[in-house]
Structure 1
Amino acid sequence: MKEKRRVYVIGHKNPDTDSICSAIAYADLKSKIDQGEFVPKRAGHINEETHYVLTKFGVKPPRYLKNVKLQVKDLDIHKTEGISPKVSIREAWVMMKENNIKTLPVLEKGNLVGLISTGDIARSYMEVHESTTLAAAKTQYKNILSTLDGTLVTGNPHGIFVEGKVAIGASDSKRMEEFICENDMVILGNRQDAQEVALKINACCLIICGNEHVSEALIKKAEEQDIVVIQTPHDTFTAARLINQSVPVKQFMTKGPLMTFKLNDYVDDIKTSMTSKKYRDFPILDEHKNFVGFISRRRTMNATKKQVILVDHNEKSQAIEGIEEAEIIEIIDHHRIGSLETLSPVFFRNQPVGCTATIVAQMYEEARVEIPKEIAGLLASAIVSDTLLFRSPTSTKADEGAAKKLAQIAEIDLEDLAKGMFRAGSSLEGKTENEIANQDFKQFAVDQTNFGVGQISSMDVEELKEIKNKLIPYLPGFMKKKNLDMVFFMLTNILTETSELICVGNQAREHIIEAFELPENTKDILLKGVVSRKKQLIPTLMSELQQ
């Protein structure tokens, strides 16, 4: 069964209520009308207003996504069955041939302890010539049985050959007694006298070639002396040639330190390491250090990018980190067309309305999909937030109509909802200056000038004064931290529909005075009738900066 594509639906950094609620709603809609797994995400911390809305309608907040950079887990990871360190090199070779692979992971309880490659096995054939190699490698008899296509006549197949050498009992009895020692492994034919000599010397294992008959007397004596007896269909030469292939892979595998990567590693970060080694495959481990599979340089080059749908923004400066490495497949927005670029055409829906949630609500209707009660509550909240309950000049009849329909579905009163939301959003309880400044902050660029604009709306005059006193000494350092040329902060009184503007940065105050044609001796910058950052402040300021 083909795995569903995963698509992240995400709003801008420093997300507001519209950004979060529209992401949740649009992911819900897409899941019902399209093939794939659509997952709402957030690119920043949720503010108090949004938290209030999510709690009110019983919806879990989207999980935080740090960036959409390409990670190892996004690559085509080749899943390969691992082998035990005790497996013979012959068995490893057979697995490689059957699966047409060059490297096998050697695992103990899922943990990677080594790698065995065709090159390692080839070298083992060239280097294995000592008759004591099997004992040195502590080879299990079951490996020998498998390698020689043997049958166990007597003995424990799980026993281990730990000392002695491998010898061929082809000489006469007297000569055999000279070079065969106790605990040796002896390869024999059908000569009964040679078999008896091996028993007399107390060899640890007898390998009878050609499937020759083994007498009951020999079997009984071997059992008494705890000697392993194996029959093999191969002749003596073939048995002698094959037996060293019984050596466990742990003897020849590449051990540590191994170059491994983790699922969450970023592809850009590992490319240099990959090119520094001539390995064909690189092992991948999960968060528990268990082996997952292999990646290759070729798979890294042919990686599938993360797919994203952007809502409530189309400015690169506002997008989640790593957006240039992702594949944008849709944009749903209500702002001016910004600086984002795509490699191929995308579905881009941009309407001059006061809120992205209005567009999403329209798309539910167009798709003839019933809006769930909790989703309707989220969308209505987003519209109330972005339009300041229809007081903002960005508000349109479409926004107001959509909000009223959604309120009926969600069974809520918009006035009561607005009071609760704005009270939660402007509350200073437990908030640091940094949290207040970042609560609803967006960055913009005009030519070589980078600036940011924050906004907090409230119905409480005293609360706005308190916010102002906190922000004035904090914003200069905040501006430097954000690496901006200017910062503007709107303190919007919803009841009087007036915004007081805090200006920080070189010529910031002068630009605002010029843009809004205020007297040069203006002390407090009060912009009457200005409540919308998007429609009133930003266009006017940008026009001034472009002069």
Structure 2
Amino acid sequence: LDLNVSCIVVCQGAEISDEIIAQARRKEIVIIRTPHDTFTVARLINQSIPVNCFMTKEGLITFGMKDYVDDVKAVMATKKFRDFPVLDGNKSFLGFISRRRLLNSRRKQVILVDHNEKSQAVDGVEEADVLEIIDHHRLSSIQTIGPVFFRNQPVGCTATIIYQMYQEEEIEIDSVTASLLCSAIISDTLMFRSPTCTSLDEASARRLAEIGNINIEELALEMFNAGSNLKGKSAEEIIFLDFKQFTVNETVIGVGQVNSMNTSELREIKAMVLPHMEEARKKNNLDMIFFMLTDIVTESTRLLCCGPEALSKVIMAYDLNEDTEDIILRGVVSRKKQLVPTLVGALQQ
């Protein structure tokens, strides 16, 4: 240690005191303890090959933590290596993944809530094992490997179904969860004004409000004012704030919506969003974009649209005058029940 050697090899498994280890650590001296005698150690050292003689730094086949399993399998199938290094975002080594482990890998398990369309699901859902679907929308394109528990009810909000499940399982619901579920019902049903709202939605919301100790009318006013307060957001952020994508035959459409209790605020949003809709449509490879500016007080929607034939499809769907440019849909407040089915019908004709 006093000579500052690089490495000390201690033979025959001799004990090394903590003091010696501490001194070696301070001087960054490597200590190797071996059960072999001195002669055997000397012979093995002469037979050893430095790591840098067979390691390489270039052309490495590595994987990242966010790589999809199918992509990793495809690369492994073309190589003869048994193990492959896994790196983090900073290209630091995390560990190895082996062929054997990958073959036994379990799919991610997911439950789809409030949607059943692939385009609205998380990325990579086709590689996941879907266990359940709980929804209140139209049936669409999700495919599952095997039978799943599927619960779809024609109510105004999926939170109503979730509350039913709490009741059926006789699980007591805490005040925070009750408040969140109540808020969801208020939002989805526009405080019971939407045509999608059922008596079950309203009864569930009022019971949840009691559990959460909240005033529905006051909460609704605060929620809708906060939801339409879009200061600091770009036009594109506003368009995709509450946005859903649908595929009808081979036509891909997107429908966004903003709800407000303030007519002048909706006019400001229109002026901001309208010039950017065409750019957003092309950027996201959509055939058409429809944007609903819904006035909760008057229970009507000003509909903005862009894309080839978008305006003509709306005119046909709602039987409007052919020279209509400013589209006001009286009594239309629900994207799910009043707008999308009508547009889908027009697109299918």
TM-score (norm 2): 0.85
1:367-378 to 2 correspondences below 5 Å: 367-378=169-180
- Asked if 1:401 corresponds to 2:203, the answer is yes
One-letter amino acid of the structure 1 residue matched with residue 43 of structure 2 = N
Identity %: 53
Whether contact under 8 Å (1:490, 1:499) holds in the other structure is yes
**Distance change >3 Å, CA 150–CA 472, structure 1 → 2:** closer
1:289-328 to 2 correspondences below 5 Å: 292-328=94-130
Q: Tell me how far 1:428 sits from its aligned partner.
A: 2.6
- RMSD of Structure 2 on Structure 1 (CA): 2.9
Measured in 1, the distance between the counterparts of 2:159 and 2:305 equals 31
Structure 1 runs not aligned, ≥5 long: 1-137, 160-229, 234-238
Measured in 2, the distance between the counterparts of 1:499 and 1:368 equals 40
Give the equivalent residue in structure 2 for 1:470.
272
- Asked if 1:344 corresponds to 2:146, the answer is yes
Give the equivalent residue in structure 2 for 1:255.
55
- Asked if 1:245 corresponds to 2:44, the answer is yes
Measured in 1, the distance between the counterparts of 2:226 and 2:153 equals 29
Measured in 2, the distance between the counterparts of 1:253 and 1:376 equals 64
Give the equivalent residue in structure 2 for 1:109.
none
- Asked if 1:507 corresponds to 2:309, the answer is yes
- Asked if 1:520 corresponds to 2:319, the answer is no
**Distance change >3 Å, CA 245–CA 454, structure 1 → 2:** same
Q: Which structure ranks higher in relative contact order (CA pairs < 8 Å, sequence separation ≥ 6)?
A: 1
One-letter amino acid of the structure 2 residue matched with residue 495 of structure 1 = V
1:405-416 to 2 correspondences below 5 Å: 405-416=207-218
Give the equivalent residue in structure 2 for 1:274.
76
Measured in 1, the distance between the counterparts of 2:117 and 2:198 equals 23
- Asked if 1:534 corresponds to 2:336, the answer is yes
Measured in 2, the distance between the counterparts of 1:457 and 1:139 equals 72
Measured in 1, the distance between the counterparts of 2:125 and 2:68 equals 14
- Asked if 1:496 corresponds to 2:298, the answer is yes
Whether contact under 8 Å (1:328, 1:342) holds in the other structure is yes
Measured in 2, the distance between the counterparts of 1:470 and 1:286 equals 40
Report SS of the residue matched to 2:151. strand
One-letter amino acid of the structure 2 residue matched with residue 379 of structure 1 = L
One-letter amino acid of the structure 1 residue matched with residue 44 of structure 2 = Q
Measured in 2, the distance between the counterparts of 1:388 and 1:466 equals 21
Structure with larger Rg: 1
1:433-452 to 2 correspondences below 5 Å: 433-452=235-254
One-letter amino acid of the structure 1 residue matched with residue 259 of structure 2 = S
Measured in 2, the distance between the counterparts of 1:357 and 1:253 equals 63
Measured in 2, the distance between the counterparts of 1:396 and 1:338 equals 23
Measured in 1, the distance between the counterparts of 2:217 and 2:37 equals 90
Structure 2 residue corresponding to 1:356, chosen from 158, 165, 187: 158
Measured in 2, the distance between the counterparts of 1:231 and 1:291 equals 32
Whether contact under 8 Å (1:151, 1:231) holds in the other structure is no
Give the equivalent residue in structure 1 for 2:227.
425
**Distance change >3 Å, CA 383–CA 140, structure 1 → 2:** same
TM-score (norm 1): 0.55
1:439-487 Cα shifts (integer Å, max 9, x gaps): 1110001101110111111110100111111111110111111111111
